[in-house]
A and B are shown apart, each in its own frame.
Chain A
Amino acid sequence: MSTLASRLPFRGRVPLRGRSVPLPSGMSAIIVKELRGRMRGRRAFVVVTIHVLLLALFAWMLQRINEEQIRNLSAFGGQTTYAGASVGRGIFLGLLMLQTLMVSVLAPAATAGAISSEREHQTLDLLAVTPISSFAIVLGKLFSALAWVFVLILASIPVTALVFVYGGVAPDDVVRGYLVLFATVIGLGSIGIFFSALTRRTGASTGLTFVITLVLTIGTFFLWVYFSTTGEVSATGARRQPSEAVLYLNPFVAQADVLCGTEDGAFGGTCGLISSILNTPQTDIFPPDGVPVEPVPAPGVGIGGGIRIDPSDTTGVPFVGKGGVAVGGLDDANADEAVSADSFRDRFWPKSVLSFLALSIVLTLASVQYVTPTRRLRPSLPGLVRRLARKRSAS
């Protein structure tokens, strides 16, 4: 070994003395390291393939269910015109909700151990003495953990795109759905990062993360139902409704709003839900010329679609406008506007996406605090919660 002294060529000081390593290189260091581990070998490829195959199988089953329902309806004399659109929407509904459920489990699971496992492996100190900033550590951890979920979501796009074969769902609806999915992943993923930065043990972090995820998905909805059904009744007879903000961080409600955009927007299905959440009447479709269109419940409502026929229409040929809304008796030129489904679009999900991103920013900054070894601010879990967390990780 002694001859080596003269051979060591890595002389010269590290560049940029006295400053952190720039954020992008810091993040890329973490991301490269994490992905090397995660994407090694055949595992990642196999998992993605199985994921897509299962999703395709699920989509096929949804298609069969929807087709059979339409067929049964037609056997009883129901409306089967534009049944394809109905089937398309049915598949879209199923796929979007399934994927939302999936990422609600995968995103927190992927991140809940990201930082606490470094503590458990006693590697966080090794990282903390490098000039990489805590911000780069947290962001790098967040994105490398979520990269895997992003890959699964991206791989599902071709399967989701199959709904275009049936119609009823426009490409921009798919884009909306995926925007909500990505925001959900980032939002719920930051919850996992936050708890993994806060707690010492991955077990405690995972537990707390899933409790919060359950509260956001099921808890908020239950709260909303409770307050909306038990709210005070005012002099006009209307019940006081809870604020819609209760549900901003509920990814399923956001997706329901996206699905509403594919419906005729007037009644039933997910639009009914969104309208009652937003506390707006469901049946306020007015064409620009002021002639109210009387909506009539149509077949397929229960399965997330609806084809509406204008009763005054004598041609018997409904017009399917944007969002799959069928309106009769209007000429082509203003049919699109007359549908006015656009006024029922994008009422909720953009707020939801923004809320998820805001949550993510707040939690990321909080996590940076907990990762910084020499932070001056040391807020910690209230004693009770911490004791519980410790007990859980011990057992």
Chain B
Amino acid sequence: MTAIVEARGLVKRYPGTLAVSGVDLEVPEGEIFGLVGPNGAGKTTMLRMLATLLLPTSGDALIAGESVTRNPQAVRRVLGYMPDSFGVYDDMKVWEYLDFFGRCYGLGPARRKRMIDDLLELVDLAAKRDAYVQSLSRGMQQRLCLAHALVHDPQVLLLDEPASGLDPRARVELRELLRELRTLGKTILISSHILPELEELCTSVAIVDRGRVLAAGTIAEIGQKLRVGEVLRVRVLGDAEALDAARAWFEGQPDVASATLDSGLIEIGFRGDEAGAAQLLAAAIASRIRVASYSPAATDLQELFLQVTDRDEATMGAPVV
């Protein structure tokens, strides 16, 4: 898969602050890519530069092969953007809102009509077609805003904190919608500081703090790159003695950093990859350890995030206030 979004040394400097400092990013086509980071990490600034709303101080980014600095109009054609704090127009009906943006993209009347019908159906607002935009609930407005970003059938969607301020139900709906869009072949860049939300949704993430990308890739990849290691949970049948023997056996194996006994489960800190884990299991069974279950404990994005930012703080010194 080729990278459809490609940032090269993006820098944004404001008087007195460096909002984004030299970001390189590659997002393969068809991914749901999460930008994770605390508030003020520079996520919004990055997205705004990709959305051609902000000129980078230096560096450049290509979206579908077009430069955001040299050819912003071409980028705008392939891009749908939903800002963090989106606005709605007063005195405008739902269908007029989409019609307006359709006109902005130069769509003809027949195409606009069909697009409005389809999009309202997609975001589940067909019943609200003639309602005034300001009368919609926040979740509905958010969905309408997402629909507006789709009027020109863009290849890439940039969504800045799309789930902020939504109730749990609206969040689930939004997640479904984004999955739906992925099946339509869209590449989605999504920023959030709510980690569990991204974890369920994203195919890969970039961890961002203080204007830099600290790590990027799938959650497993990042874990490996950082040598955080995987945690394997093994349930072994037998009495306490057998359990302790098993623990000691696991501890003696290569690539095992640690093995601890925790309420009947052996937790193994494992440095190897999946093949290594399979080999370890085979060896354990060959050694007549009665393994009842053997599974990697999923690496938590939240945990990963804390580790990455901790490590960053240790190497970078105290945060600059």
In contact, B53 and A125 (Cβ under 8 angstroms) = yes
- CA gap between A128 and B81 in the complex, in Å: 10
User: CB-CB contacts of A1-37 with B at 8 A, as 1s and 0s?
Assistant: 1101101111111111111111001101100110011
A296 at the interface (CB under 8 A from B): no
What are the residues of chain A within 8 A of B297 when measuring CB–CB?
none
In contact, B73 and A19 (Cβ under 8 angstroms) = yes
Please give the distance in Å from A270's CB to the nearest CB on chain B: 43
- CA gap between A374 and B79 in the complex, in Å: 16
User: CB-CB contacts of B30-44 with A at 8 A, as 1s and 0s?
Assistant: 000000000000000
- CA gap between A97 and B101 in the complex, in Å: 41
In contact, A374 and B72 (Cβ under 8 angstroms) = yes
In contact, B180 and A5 (Cβ under 8 angstroms) = yes
- CA gap between A131 and B177 in the complex, in Å: 25
Closest B residue to A120 by beta carbon equals: B87
For A4, give its contact among B86, B88, B122 (CB under 8 Å): B122
In contact, B152 and A14 (Cβ under 8 angstroms) = yes
- CA gap between A8 and B100 in the complex, in Å: 20
**A contact patch SS:** loop
In contact, B54 and A373 (Cβ under 8 angstroms) = yes
For B104, give its contact among A7, A37, A130 (CB under 8 Å): A130
In contact, B96 and A15 (Cβ under 8 angstroms) = no
- CA gap between A16 and B114 in the complex, in Å: 20
In contact, B176 and A1 (Cβ under 8 angstroms) = yes
Given contacts A4-B121, A10-B153, are A22 and B106 in contact (CB under 8 A)? yes
What are the residues of chain A within 8 A of B227 when measuring CB–CB?
none
Please give the distance in Å from B145's CB to the nearest CB on chain A: 8
Closest B residue to A127 by beta carbon equals: B104
B92 at the interface (CB under 8 A from A): yes
Of residues 365 through 388 on chain A, the ones whose CB sits less than 8 Å from some CB of chain B are: 373-376
What are the residues of chain B within 8 A of A26 when measuring CB–CB?
104, 106
Given contacts A15-B106, A21-B106, A129-B81, are A122 and B115 in contact (CB under 8 A)? no
Count of A interface residues, CB-CB < 8 Å:
45
In contact, A9 and B74 (Cβ under 8 angstroms) = no
What are the residues of chain B within 8 A of A7 when measuring CB–CB?
118, 121
Please give the distance in Å from A327's CB to the nearest CB on chain B: 58
- CA gap between A17 and B75 in the complex, in Å: 9
A121 at the interface (CB under 8 A from B): yes
- CA gap between A320 and B254 in the complex, in Å: 117
Please give the distance in Å from A296's CB to the nearest CB on chain B: 60
Closest A residue to B104 by beta carbon equals: A130
For A29, give its contact among B72, B104, B183 (CB under 8 Å): B104
Of residues 82 through 139 on chain B, the ones whose CB sits less than 8 Å from some CB of chain A are: 83, 85-92, 96, 100-101, 103-107, 111, 114-115, 118-119, 121-122, 124
Please give the distance in Å from A4's CB to the nearest CB on chain B: 5
- CA gap between A375 and B72 in the complex, in Å: 12
Please give the distance in Å from B75's CB to the nearest CB on chain A: 9
Given contacts A1-B124, A36-B96, A374-B53, are A9 and B118 in contact (CB under 8 A)? yes
Closest B residue to A376 by beta carbon equals: B55
- CA gap between A22 and B86 in the complex, in Å: 26
A132 at the interface (CB under 8 A from B): yes
For B53, give its contact among A22, A32, A129 (CB under 8 Å): A129
Closest B residue to A12 by beta carbon equals: B153
B251 at the interface (CB under 8 A from A): no
In contact, B77 and A17 (Cβ under 8 angstroms) = yes
A42 at the interface (CB under 8 A from B): no
In contact, B77 and A131 (Cβ under 8 angstroms) = yes
Given contacts A18-B73, A33-B96, are A132 and B153 in contact (CB under 8 A)? no
For A130, give its contact among B76, B118, B153 (CB under 8 Å): B76
What are the residues of chain B within 8 A of A20 when measuring CB–CB?
73
What are the residues of chain B within 8 A of A36 when measuring CB–CB?
91-92, 96
B51 at the interface (CB under 8 A from A): yes
Chain A residues proximal to chain B, CB less than 8 Å? 1-2, 4-5, 7-22, 25-26, 28-29, 32-33, 36-37, 40, 118, 121-123, 125-132, 373-376
* Apart from A122-B86, A132-B104: 10 A-B pairs, beta carbons within 8 A: A4-B121, A9-B114, A10-B111, A10-B119, A21-B106, A26-B104, A26-B106, A129-B76, A130-B101, A131-B73
Instruction: List 3 tightest A-B contacts by C-beta distance, closest first.
Output: A122-B87, A29-B103, A18-B74
